[in-house]
Amino acid sequence: MIVGILKEIKVKENRVCMTPAGVKTMVAAGHELLVEKSAGVGSGFADEEYVAAGATIIDTPQEICEKAEMVMHVKEPQPSEYGMLRKGQILFTYLHLAADEPQTHGLMESGATCIAYETVQNADRSLPLLTPMSEVAGRMSIQQGAKALEKTNGGLGKLLGGVPGVAPAKVMVIGGGVVGVQAAKMACGLGAQVYLMDINLDRLRYLADVMPANCTTLMSSKGAIQELLPEMDLVVGAVLIPGAKAPAVITREDLKLMKKGAALVDVAIDQGGCFETSKATTHEEPTYEVDGIVHYCVANIPGAVPMTSTMALTNATLPYALELANKGWKKACQDNESLRKGLNVHEGKLTYKAVCDAFGLEY
């Protein structure tokens, strides 16, 4: 199959949907790879590396879309790209259609077969193409929280790990899923005293088994959070109720219980945020202060580390891209139920129930 790798054009997006190593695997399987000029530069991959891996560099997205039987992206196609897609062509990328009516209509009008990374789902309900970005965001949350605690950034001026003779900081992580575990592991590794909270007792049992000794697992509740807040230096919000807006686990009133200069990092901000005082911020201006508490609420945390994020994403997407290219979308979706769940649009029709529901359309 001819596979096109498009350059990201969404503002400040530096990831790319396939590494040169991924291209090499696809080429070895007999596919022809067309890579848009400079597509990998933001992630540290030069055009020469793609050529060495067996790809052809193409100047324009138009030319790629004309030739390719499958086009890949990281972020959803932008309005200028809808018209380049066509019937009989596969689009494989993050789409997030339920929150984007113009794009949904654009893709329906294109006639293309659109498979969304974010709705590819395993039998255990896990989302294999979202997990790598949650892993990156979880790890980054502690790095960013540590920075927010620095005095020059409005924080307490406290080092997470302390030093010999000086106690480490206390870190609360609310939500023990993918983000929460990676956050807790990083904080533990830096030597902080960590409290990892969840509402799922089975999950807490598992976490208590696998987390290091400086991590205490706790059943999450309003009372338990309020009891601990006065001692906490950093709180990471990592809760998710699938398909719903995040619950406000810390309210504005609760901020009064905290030390001035303590920090809140709300990773769940992309689902509306799990602290009442959270509002989305950007990498340019990542923090703001409410009642003396530093807030970090960046909605696309992995965007700050495109080199790592690109490699993590390709590790996860490549087996699916390969299956689509080897078998074509129909056979690939018949054989692989997880991939079939990724199918959102086909020849002008919406094929994913939650997206139909979002626009009041029949499934």
Say if CB 270 and CB 245 are below 8 A apart: no
Instruction: Report which DSSP code applies to 285.
Output: S
Quote the CA–CA distance of 197 and 204 in Å, as a whole number: 8
Residue 267 within binding range of ligand NAD, rule CB under 6 A:
yes
71 or 263: CB nearest ligand NAD:
263
Q: State the binding string over 289-318 for ligand NAD (x if CB under 6 A, else -).
A: ----------xxxx----------------
- Of 5-13, 100-108, 114-122, 267-275, the window that binds ligand NAD (rule: CB under 6 A) is 267-275
């807490």: which residue's tokens? 204
45 or 296: CB nearest ligand NAD:
296
270 as an active site residue: the answer is yes
CB of 120 to ligand NAD, least distance (A): 14
Bridge partners, residue 293, by sequence: 290
- Of 146-154, 160-168, 205-213, 265-273, the window that binds ligand NAD (rule: CB under 6 A) is 265-273
How open is the CA angle 292-295-297, to the nearest 5 degrees?
165
CB of 2 to ligand NAD, least distance (A): 32
Residue 14 within binding range of ligand NAD, rule CB under 6 A:
no
Bridge partners, residue 197, by sequence: 174, 218
CB of 240 to ligand NAD, least distance (A): 4
Residue 98 within binding range of ligand NAD, rule CB under 6 A:
no
Instruction: Report which DSSP code applies to 109.
Output: H
Q: One of 233, 254, 266, 270 is an active-site residue; which one?
A: 270
CB of 176 to ligand NAD, least distance (A): 5
Quote the CA–CA distance of 238 and 248 in Å, as a whole number: 11
């299956």: which residue's tokens? 323
* Residues in region 200-259 near ligand NAD by CB under 6 A: 200, 203, 220, 238-241, 246-247, 249
Rg (C-alpha) for the chain, rounded Å, is 22
59 as an active site residue: the answer is no
Q: State the binding string over 156-185 for ligand NAD (x if CB under 6 A, else -).
A: ------------------xxxxxxx-----
* Residues in region 320-359 near ligand NAD by CB under 6 A: none
Q: Residue 210: CB partners within 8 Å, gap ≥ 6?
A: none
DSSP track, 117-165: GGG---TTS--TTTHHHHHHHHHHHHHHHHHHTSGGGTS----TT-BTT
Instruction: Report which DSSP code applies to 304.
Output: G
Q: Residue 45: CB partners within 8 Å, gap ≥ 6?
A: 16, 19, 20, 310
How many residues does this entry show for the chain? 363
Active-site residue list? 96, 270
Residues that bind ligand NAD (CB under 6 A): 133-134, 137, 174-180, 197-200, 203, 220, 238-241, 246-247, 249, 267-271, 299-302
